[in-house]
């Protein structure tokens, strides 16, 4: 695409490339209009298709009046169809609900229209003041998906957020999802920088190392004080005061970190601990830590034995470093990294034990998620290989027919009747190729934009919704769709995927059924424990091998490595597996097929 920078009309933002997604925080209506008006004025001037989405802060009339002051010939742009000004209800909501997929698709549809009409691209701004906390999570997910959807396209999108409706966490979440964020402070526009996670982690590691060094230094100081107490009984009061002061210093240090720290004497009594360690003790044992408490009293028999082994090992001069998990009283397991070291006097004799622990549960979860995603990637690569094989077969067959018929029509000596018949076959091959490309496009679009949010689905309503899309074809071919969902009619699943499954199965029967036979489709369901079994009977099959005499067989797993399996059926099986289900097939008398789909109800 063209990488020429586009002017935004906003001084603080400057020029940006196509595919940019930025945001703006405002306090007053004047702040909002001061960035929206020049944004759209510049877009109109540069032959861009503009869409202005208003909210409670500004009405459509407010937007038109403000823009007309800056663009006196605004009526000419309206006549050309260069700009739309819509309310947030008309753009974001369907029946009062926010639908991520519909909004993304609307943007891409408007871009296609803009380019078809000769515009340079699409410029869009939306004020998000209409959102409430119930729709916040879904809208943040929309902002994340939007970055992927507009990448590499002739789109510039800006979002406006009212500061009084945002918490500090909200501002950070929003800033992370946009390439830049502007805000007006003390009458001046400023660019906000997004937090850098890697930089933060590096800083935390540096602080952790610094803390460990300081703990070691303070521990050595404590050893020195203890030795002075032994040697100088006459100065006990002075040394005790010094020890208390040092402990207070050390307590201040350890209380400012998220690392749990406990210091034991050689008899397993608690000498020193921080607030984090006391909190974890409350979670694990039901009581907080106390100074001088005998720690083994908090443990069960197995824990006492393990703690005794650890104390003996460390007091012998060894250090221990390991990772372990622990089941709290009411929560899921937590993972910790434990470091245990001997506390030695000046004669290198162990007189106590220092123990520090940091919670690494999030690291463990991230590691598990990485392994899960890696496994999914491997499976995805396998699926791509199967899909490529199927796609190669479905594309090669109509192309080969088209090439052969074209050569015969061009070079062969054929009669008019044969020529007419060949032209008919050629049109059928072209329609078949067009359908393959159409199915491929549906698969790619659904994978890119479909929401993975589950919702309650009524199967009867879903079949009616899908059947309506084939109304004209159904009337022409006297199609009959017979359903029986009396035993199980509702499930909790992803509507987009389920719609796509039914659409492909019905479409394959309508479009490729046997000539001369009215299409008949029977769909039934039943419940088995927490699973929903759907039976889809297709009475007759167009793509069968000549001479195939298969009778009424038992269900068997659908093999996608078979080249005779089309893209539509590949799409069906892939979506069923994503939903956590499986699919099998058996042959019916009369070249029909019965597909059995096993899906989770919840």
CATH number for position 142: 3.40.50.300
pLDDT of residue 40: 95
- Does residue 183 share a domain with residue 133? yes
- Does residue 586 share a domain with residue 462? yes
pLDDT of residue 514: 54
- Does residue 533 share a domain with residue 496? yes
- Does residue 181 share a domain with residue 65? yes
- Does residue 529 share a domain with residue 461? yes
Higher pLDDT among residues 182 and 424, named by residue: 182
Angle in degrees, CA 214, 218, 224, rounded to 5: 150
DSSP lists the bridge partners of residue 21 as: 157
With respect to residue 445, please indicate whether it lies within any of the assigned structural domains. Answer: no
Is the confidence at residue 429, as pLDDT, over 80?
Answer: no
Question: pLDDT-derived band of residue 563, with 50, 70 and 90 as boundaries?
Answer: very low
Q: Tens digit of pLDDT for each residue in 270-300?
A: 988 888 888 878 877 788 888 899 988 888 8
Question: pLDDT-derived band of residue 544, with 50, 70 and 90 as boundaries?
Answer: very low
With respect to residue 287, please indicate whether it lies within any of the assigned structural domains. Answer: yes
| Among candidate residues 23, 295, 63, 294, the one with its CA nearest the CA of residue 170 | 23
State mean pLDDT over 568-588: 86
- The total domain count for the chain is 4
Least confident segment among 287-291, 367-371, 379-383, 387-391: 387-391
Give the Cα separation of 156 and 2 in Å (integer). Answer: 13
With respect to residue 444, please indicate whether it lies within any of the assigned structural domains. Answer: no
- Does residue 62 share a domain with residue 186? yes
Q: Tens digit of pLDDT for each residue in 166-221?
A: 888 888 888 888 888 888 766 677 777 544 433 443 454 456 567 778 888 888 88
Higher pLDDT among residues 383 and 532, named by residue: 532
pLDDT of residue 394: 61
Give the Cα separation of 11 and 18 in Å (integer). Answer: 17
pLDDT of residue 52: 96
Give the Cα separation of 290 and 389 in Å (integer). Answer: 68
The answer to whether 54 and 25 are in contact (CB under 8 A) is no
Question: pLDDT-derived band of residue 9, with 50, 70 and 90 as boundaries?
Answer: very high
Least confident segment among 6-10, 156-160, 274-278: 274-278
With respect to residue 1, please indicate whether it lies within any of the assigned structural domains. Answer: no
State mean pLDDT over 223-238: 77
The two structure tokens encoding residue 193: 């920088």
Question: pLDDT-derived band of residue 450, with 50, 70 and 90 as boundaries?
Answer: very low
Is the confidence at residue 53, as pLDDT, over 80?
Answer: yes
Q: Tens digit of pLDDT for each residue in 321-357?
A: 988 877 665 566 778 888 999 998 888 888 899 998 8
Least confident segment among 313-317, 423-427, 511-515: 511-515
CATH of the domain at 385: 1.10.287
Full domain range(s) for residue 58: 6-192
Question: pLDDT-derived band of residue 439, with 50, 70 and 90 as boundaries?
Answer: low
Is the confidence at residue 477, as pLDDT, over 50?
Answer: yes
- Does residue 526 share a domain with residue 459? yes
- Does residue 249 share a domain with residue 121? no
Give the Cα separation of 179 and 350 in Å (integer). Answer: 56
The two structure tokens encoding residue 521: 């489709």
pLDDT of residue 48: 96
Q: Which of 381, 413, 439 is the last residue of a domain?
A: 439
State mean pLDDT over 241-261: 68
With respect to residue 180, please indicate whether it lies within any of the assigned structural domains. Answer: yes
With respect to residue 263, please indicate whether it lies within any of the assigned structural domains. Answer: yes
- Residue found under tokens 């076959």: 425
Question: pLDDT-derived band of residue 138, with 50, 70 and 90 as boundaries?
Answer: confident
Question: pLDDT-derived band of residue 36, with 50, 70 and 90 as boundaries?
Answer: very high
3-class SS of residue 159 = strand
Higher pLDDT among residues 159 and 359, named by residue: 159
State mean pLDDT over 590-596: 81
- Does residue 308 share a domain with residue 218? yes
Question: pLDDT-derived band of residue 444, with 50, 70 and 90 as boundaries?
Answer: low
- Does residue 172 share a domain with residue 118? yes
pLDDT of residue 476: 47
pLDDT of residue 199: 44
With respect to residue 457, please indicate whether it lies within any of the assigned structural domains. Answer: yes
| Among candidate residues 493, 501, 499, the one with its CA nearest the CA of residue 462 | 499
The residues, any chain, with a CB within 8 Å of residue 149's CB and separated by 6 or more, are: 104, 107, 108, 448, 449
Higher pLDDT among residues 200 and 61, named by residue: 61
Q: Which of 439, 470, 494 is the last residue of a domain?
A: 439
Question: pLDDT-derived band of residue 258, with 50, 70 and 90 as boundaries?
Answer: confident
Higher pLDDT among residues 586 and 261, named by residue: 586
With respect to residue 95, please indicate whether it lies within any of the assigned structural domains. Answer: yes
Is the confidence at residue 398, as pLDDT, over 50?
Answer: yes
| Among candidate residues 593, 564, 573, the one with its CA nearest the CA of residue 394 | 564
Is the confidence at residue 385, as pLDDT, over 70?
Answer: no
The residues, any chain, with a CB within 8 Å of residue 482's CB and separated by 6 or more, are: 520, 521, 522, 523
CATH of the domain at 316: 3.30.450.20
Give the Cα separation of 67 and 224 in Å (integer). Answer: 76
pLDDT of residue 549: 41
Question: pLDDT-derived band of residue 248, with 50, 70 and 90 as boundaries?
Answer: low
The residues, any chain, with a CB within 8 Å of residue 50's CB and separated by 6 or more, are: 40, 43, 44, 82, 83, 84, 122, 123, 124
Q: What is the mean pLDDT of the chain?
A: 80
Higher pLDDT among residues 492 and 254, named by residue: 492
- Does residue 350 share a domain with residue 377? no
Whether pTM exceeds 0.85: no
pLDDT of residue 591: 67
State mean pLDDT over 51-75: 92
State mean pLDDT over 102-106: 92
Most confident of 157-166, 254-263, 500-509: 157-166
Is the confidence at residue 547, as pLDDT, over 70?
Answer: no
Percent of the chain with pLDDT over 90: 28
pLDDT of residue 202: 43
State mean pLDDT over 374-379: 67
Phi, psi dihedrals of residue 177, rounded to the nearest 5°: -90, 0
- Does residue 509 share a domain with residue 565? yes
Q: Which of 299, 334, 359 is the last residue of a domain?
A: 359
Give the Cα separation of 596 and 582 in Å (integer). Answer: 8
State mean pLDDT over 428-436: 71
């Amino acid at each position: 695409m063209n990488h020429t920078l586009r002017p935004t009309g906003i001084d603080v933002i400057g020029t940006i490339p196509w595919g940019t997604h930025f945001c703006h925080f405002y306090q007053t209506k004047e702040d909002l209009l001061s960035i929206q008006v020049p944004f759209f004025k510049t877009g109109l001037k540069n032959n861009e298709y503009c869409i202005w989405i208003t909210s409670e802060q500004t009405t459509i009339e407010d937007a038109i009046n403000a823009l007309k002051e800056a663009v006196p010939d605004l009526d000419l742009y309206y006549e050309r169809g260069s700009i739309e000004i819509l309310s947030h209800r008309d753009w974001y909501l369907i029946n009062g609900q926010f639908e991520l997929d519909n909004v993304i698709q609307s943007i891409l549809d408007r871009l296609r229209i803009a380019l078809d009409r000769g515009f340079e691209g699409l410029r869009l701004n939306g004020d998000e003041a209409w959102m409430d906390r119930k729709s916040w999570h879904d809208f943040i997910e929309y902002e994340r998906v939007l970055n992927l959807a507009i990448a590499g396209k002739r789109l510039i999108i800006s979002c406006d957020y009212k500061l009084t409706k945002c918490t500090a966490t909200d501002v950070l979440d929003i800033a992370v999802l946009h390439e830049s964020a502007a805000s007006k402070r003390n009458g001046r526009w400023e660019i906000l920088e997004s937090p850098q996670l890697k930089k933060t982690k590096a800083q935390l590691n540096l602080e952790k190392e610094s803390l460990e060094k300081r703990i070691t230094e303070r521990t050595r100081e404590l050893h020195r004080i203890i030795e002075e107490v032994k040697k100088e009984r006459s100065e006990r009061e002075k040394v005790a005061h010094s020890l208390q002061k040092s402990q207070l210093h050390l307590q201040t240090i350890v209380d400012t970190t998220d690392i749990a720290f406990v210091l034991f004497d050689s008899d397993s009594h608690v000498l020193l601990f921080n607030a984090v360690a006391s909190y974890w003790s409350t979670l694990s044992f039901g009581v907080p830590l106390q100074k001088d408490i005998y720690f083994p009293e908090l443990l069960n028999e197995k824990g006492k034995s393990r703690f005794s082994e650890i104390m003996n090992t460390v007091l012998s001069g060894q250090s221990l470093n390991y990772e372990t998990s622990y089941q709290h009283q009411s929560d899921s397991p937590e993972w910790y990294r434990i470091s245990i070291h001997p506390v030695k006097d000046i004669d290198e004799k162990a007189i106590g034990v220092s123990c520090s622990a940091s919670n690494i549960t999030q690291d463990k979860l991230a590691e598990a998620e990485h392994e899960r995603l890696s496994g999914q990637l491997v499976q995805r690569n396998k699926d791509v290989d199967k899909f490529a094989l199927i796609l190669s077969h479905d594309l090669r067959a109509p192309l080969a027919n088209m090439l052969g018929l074209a050569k015969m029509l061009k070079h062969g000596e054929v009669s008019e009747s044969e020529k007419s018949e060949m032209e008919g076959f050629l049109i059928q091959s072209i329609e078949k190729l067009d359908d393959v490309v159409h199915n491929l496009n549906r698969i790619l679009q659904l994978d890119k934009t479909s929401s993975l949010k589950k919702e309650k689905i009524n199967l009867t309503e879903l079949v009616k919704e899908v059947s309506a899309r084939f109304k004209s074809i159904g009337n022409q071919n006297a199609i009959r769709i017979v359903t029986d969902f009396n035993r199980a009619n509702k499930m909790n699943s992803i509507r987009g995927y389920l719609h796509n499954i039914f659409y492909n199965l019905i479409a394959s029967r309508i479009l490729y059924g046997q000539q001369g036979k009215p299409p008949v489709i029977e769909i039934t369901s039943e419940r088995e424990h927490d699973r929903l079994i759907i039976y889809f009977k297709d009475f007759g099959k167009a793509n069968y091998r000549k001479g195939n005499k298969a009778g009424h067989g038992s269900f068997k797993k659908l093999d996608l490595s078979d080249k005779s399996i089309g893209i539509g059926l590949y799409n069906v099986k892939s979506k069923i597996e994503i939903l956590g289900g499986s699919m099998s097939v058996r042959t019916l008398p009369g070249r029909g097929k019965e597909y059995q789909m096993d899906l989770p109800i919840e």
